[in-house]
Amino acid sequence: MAQGCVISKKLTGAITENLAKDKIHVEAGPMEPAREMIKNGDYSGALKEYNEIFKRYPKKSPGDRALFEMGILFAYPDNPKRDSSRAAGYFKWLVRDFPESPLIRESLAWIDALKRITENEERIKALLEKNSAFQEQINDLEKKNRVYEEQIRALKEIDIGIEEKKRQEAPE
């Protein structure tokens, strides 16, 4: 009887362990091809993979993870099609459609960070435009300054000529 309990516990433990492995495999497995594509720089291919995963799991995990990864993909600095707005859209989608997802807090943090990045990029753009306008003003002022310096030089030459004539005409 005691031996039966030990065997039962071992069997239950083995089943639980296998179920845990299966669950991890189900959640992690579908993401691996897309992750490999990202490592190889194939961002478009990874996006297609994540879209397929989301289509298969539109209301449950790993659909939430696929949305999250698409957000990360569009926020990724090495992605030539990087788009903060699209990245934030995927994180907002996850928050809206997967309210029980363990990725909610991270998604909210990404939404906030991307919002701040976008605001800072807009400020930088505005400052660069102002800088460009100021640089044009500086260039115009430098041109005017060169003209004034040339006029001053010409007036000095005239003044020197007048002084020389006065000396020549002055009685000694």
Average pLDDT rounded to a whole number, residues 121-140: 94
Q: Tell me whether residue 4 is in a domain.
A: no
Residue 68 domain flag: yes
Neighbours of 130 (CB within 10 A): 10
> Are 53 and 46 spatial neighbours (Cβ–Cβ below 8 Å)?
no
The pLDDT value recorded for residue 165 is 87
Tell me: pLDDT of 5 over 70: no
Q: If pLDDT is split at 50, 70 and 90, which confidence band does 6 have?
A: very low
pLDDT band at residue 65, thresholds of 50, 70 and 90? very high
Rounded-to-integer distance, Cα 23 and Cα 29, Å: 10
The answer to whether residue 149 sits within a structural domain is: no
What CATH number has the domain bearing residue 38?
A: 1.25.40.10
- What's the confidence (pLDDT) of residue 141? 93
pTM for the whole structure:
0.62
- Rounded to an integer, the average pLDDT of 54-78 is 94
Residue at 163 is within a domain:
no
> What's the structural domain count of the chain?
1
Range of the domain at 55: 29-130
